[in-house]
Amino acid sequence: MLQQLQIIPIPAFKDNYLWLIHNGEQAVVVDPGDAQAVLDTLSALNLRLEAILITHHHQDHIGGVNKLLATLPNVQVFAPQLEHYDFPHTKLIEPDEVQCTSWLPKAQVIDLPGHTLGHIAYYLELEAEKWLFCGDTLFGAGCGRLFEGSPSQMYHSLQKLAALADDTLVFCTHEYTLHNIQFALTVEPNNQALHQRQLDTLALREKQLPSLPSTIALELATNPFLRCYSAEIQNLTGTKNKTELDVFTKIRELRNHY
């Protein structure tokens, strides 16, 4: 029976979440790195997979696609135009809008170079909620590593996400939030929202619940990579009177070695 839309995290590997959107009958999965985990969830909930959305080419995000297609050949795959994939897919680039199923609104494609050069996000506006599937670009209190792009590219990608509505739900792909908060506290120890987030996240993780989704509002209040204007961050990282891009570059570097 058709239900209200639901989103559930399918845990995979050490700390990935494969986000599954469903309506009680049909489903769409984002970044299925592990096919078996998706197949098990589909059969447990009696769902039919219709589409796969890919944010970038790393194995933990695409590793299950070929196996899913072998089992479910009618599933449509959507992936970044600027990257290469060995499975059939529809290529997407900003400002494409994609109707991946009949029961979801169109998703807006946002280009987010930085973690990889072709990385994209999917942004959906539903009646009551806004959803962002941002892969490995924005994390809870953190951001992805710069494997391919420059600090400037990543900084501008994050600024695009920071401009989304405050109440946008942010579906990140990794459970890195606690470790990110610990790092964030080293560069902004007097941020009360960050201390509160640490308590809230600890409570969730003790119950083995995901710390995600986050919201844009929460990230603006606690994520150091969106807070390069903060005087405290600048003072503690020796970047006073530098540009926000310089501050971003510095804290990304510090985080790499944390």
Amino acid at 44: A
Binding partner at 175 among Zn ion, Fe ion, none, C-beta below 5 to 8 Å by kind: none
Binding mask 61-100 for Fe ion (x = CB under 5 A): ----------------------------------------
Q: How far apart are CA 21 and CA 103, in angstroms?
A: 11
119 binds Zn ion (CB under 5 A): no
136 binds Fe ion (CB under 5 A): yes
Q: How far apart are CA 67 and CA 88, in angstroms?
A: 13
Q: How far is the CB of 145 from Zn ion (least distance, A)?
A: 8
- Where b means 16+ CB within 10 Å and e means fewer, 226-237 reads bbbebeebbebb
Stretch that binds Zn ion, among 131-139, 199-207, 215-223, 234-242 (CB under 5 A): 131-139
Count interface residues toward Zn ion (CB under 5 A). Answer: 2
Binding partner at 34 among Fe ion, Zn ion, none, C-beta below 5 to 8 Å by kind: none
Four-residue CA torsion sign, 152, 157, 160, 162:
negative
Q: Is the CB of 50 or the CB of 136 nearer to Zn ion?
A: 136
Apex 92 CA angle, 88 and 97, nearest 5:
125
Q: Is the CB of 22 or the CB of 174 nearer to Fe ion?
A: 174
Q: Is the CB of 63 or the CB of 210 nearer to Zn ion?
A: 63
Could you tell me whether strands 76-80 and 130-133 are parallel, antiparallel, or unpaired per DSSP bridges? unpaired
Q: Is the CB of 116 or the CB of 222 nearer to Fe ion?
A: 116
Altogether, the residues listed in the chain come to a count of: 258
Apex 133 CA angle, 204 and 112, nearest 5:
125
Stretch that binds Fe ion, among 36-44, 112-120, 136-144, 223-231 (CB under 5 A): 136-144
Strands (E), 15-129: 16-22, 26-30, 48-53, 76-80, 90-92, 97-98, 107-111, 120-125
227 binds Zn ion (CB under 5 A): no
136 binds Zn ion (CB under 5 A): yes
34 binds Fe ion (CB under 5 A): no
* Site residues, Zn ion (CB under 5 A): 58, 136
